[in-house]
């Protein structure tokens, strides 16, 4: 695939800053981002082929995500083309560095893409679609997808640490294990294990792993993957998860929309996954709808909204690209970092 030509960039539309809310992007002359409407962004698709079928897309999208092939053509084919240029540039730089340093090294360094955003905003759908599109490039790269859910501490540990009510917050993750995993991946190690997570039991699977064996591209999806930590006073190196990313994406939307999507998903899960007696949330399927929705509102208010405001949303400016969704769950704006 060829890289997007700078001369083909359409003129961007300035968005009315007076209509911005706390969670909206605020373009200004000093913004590090260039902003595009979904229609403008679609122009970057060029000759990128549509390789997904409607049946495949149905399999890839999450429970209450209305994405269709039109959205793939508008947003994801252009994004796939952009990422191809980044991957090609990264590979050229790596080859040049080996020549400069006279390194005789045949191992490949995977290109790592981080995808962040709130619960219920559509990270999983975006990650799965990108995985399929990237794997269907003419060069047929090997693409793997890992979610950071597997790096949560087991529920037993969270209970011991009194962190069950903060599950999903930065302190509920085994950051050391996640950093070691990414270090091995970047070093080109073979057969690196990533722990698996069960959304049915709401816990890390015991002694079950995903094997990641030197992919060309690795997608890492998680709500807090762009999170930073406190810097040490003595100047020692403190690696962040995002230090291992070659490109990062933040899925964004107004808080009110995410709240609505969260409740819609909760209602659907009560009718589906929660009906399973083995589900951690089975009890929510056994009570009345009004009582269940009151519980869902509490979970949103006390855990998910708080995590969004305190930990997730503040990482948005660290992303290379921001996909801004509207009320209908479809992307309305794209912000691409220019600095």
Residue 334 annotated as part of some ligand binding site: no
CA 319 to chain centre: 10
Could you count the other beta carbons within 10 Å of the beta carbon of residue 159?
Answer: 11
| Residue 3 assigned as binding residue | no
Q: DSSP letters of 183-252?
A: HHHHTT-SSEEEEEEETTTTEEEEEEEEEE---SEEEEE-TTTT---PPPTT------GGGG-SEEEEEE
Q: What is the dihedral of CA 178, 184, 188, 191, to 10 degrees?
A: -80
Is 161 marked as a binding-site residue?
no
d(C-alpha 221, C-alpha 150), whole Å: 11
What tokens were used for 113?
A: 């893409």
Tokens, residue 224: 């807090």
156 is in an annotated binding site: no
Chain-centre distance for alpha carbon 168: 14
Q: DSSP alpha helices (H): ranges in 102-210?
A: 123-135, 155-160, 175-186
Is residue 119 marked as binding?
A: yes
How long a stretch of residues is the chain?
A: 339
- In whole angstroms, what is the distance from residue 209 CA to residue 212 CA? 9
To the question of whether residue 117 is assigned a binding role by annotation, the answer is yes
Beta bridge pairs of residue 113:
219, 247
Written as six digits, the tokens of 218 are 């690795």
Q: Is 124 annotated as a binding residue?
A: yes
Query: Is residue 122 part of an annotated ligand binding site?
Result: yes
**Start-to-end Cα distance in the chain:** 24
Closest CA to 133 of 288, 229, 125: 125
Q: Are 303 and 296 in contact (CB under 8 A)?
A: no
The number of CA neighbours under 13 Å toward the Cβ of 334 is 23
Q: Residues forming the annotated binding site?
A: 117-124
Q: Residues forming the annotated binding site for ATP?
A: 117-124
């Amino acid at each position: 695939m060829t890289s997007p030509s700078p001369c083909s960039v359409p003129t961007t539309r300035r968005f009315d800053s007076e209509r911005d809310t706390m969670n909206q992007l605020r373009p200004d002359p000093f913004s590090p981002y260039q902003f595009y409407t979904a229609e403008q962004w679609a122009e970057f698709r060029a000759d990128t082929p549509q390789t997904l079928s409607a049946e495949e897309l149905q399999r890839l999208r999450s429970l209450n995500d209305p994405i269709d092939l039109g959205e793939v053509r508008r947003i994801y084919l252009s994004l796939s083309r952009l990422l191809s240029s980044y991957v090609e540039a990264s590979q050229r730089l790596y080859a040049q560095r080996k020549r400069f340093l006279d390194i005789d090294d045949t191992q490949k360094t995977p290109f790592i893409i981080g995808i962040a955003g709130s619960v219920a905003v559509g990270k999983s759908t975006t990650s799965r679609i990108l995985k399929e599109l990237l794997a269907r490039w003419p060069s047929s790269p090997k693409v793997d997808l890992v979610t950071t859910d597997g790096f949560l501490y087991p529920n037993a540990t969270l209970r011991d640490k009194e962190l069950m009510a903060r599950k999903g917050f930065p302190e509920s993750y085994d950051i050391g294990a996640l950093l070691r995993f990414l270090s091995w991946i970047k070093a080109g190690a073979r057969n690196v294990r990533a722990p698996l997570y069960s959304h049915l039991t709401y816990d890390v699977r015991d002694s079950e792993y995903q094997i990641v064996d030197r992919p060309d591209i690795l997608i890492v999806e998680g709500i807090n993957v762009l999170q930073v930590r406190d810097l040490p006073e003595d100047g020692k190196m403190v690696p962040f998860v995002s230090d291992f990313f070659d490109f990062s994406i933040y899925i964004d939307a107004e808080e009110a929309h995410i709240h609505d999507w969260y409740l819609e998903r909760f209602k659907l899960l009560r009718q589906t996954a929660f009906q399973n007696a083995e589900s951690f949330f089975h009890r929510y399927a056994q009570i009345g709808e009004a009582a269940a929705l009151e519980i869902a509102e509490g979970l949103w208010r006390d855990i998910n909204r708080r995590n969004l405001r305190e930990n997730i949303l503040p990482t948005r400016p660290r992303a290379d690209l921001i996909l801004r969704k509207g009320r209908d769950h479809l992307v309305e704006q794209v912000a691409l970092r220019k600095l």
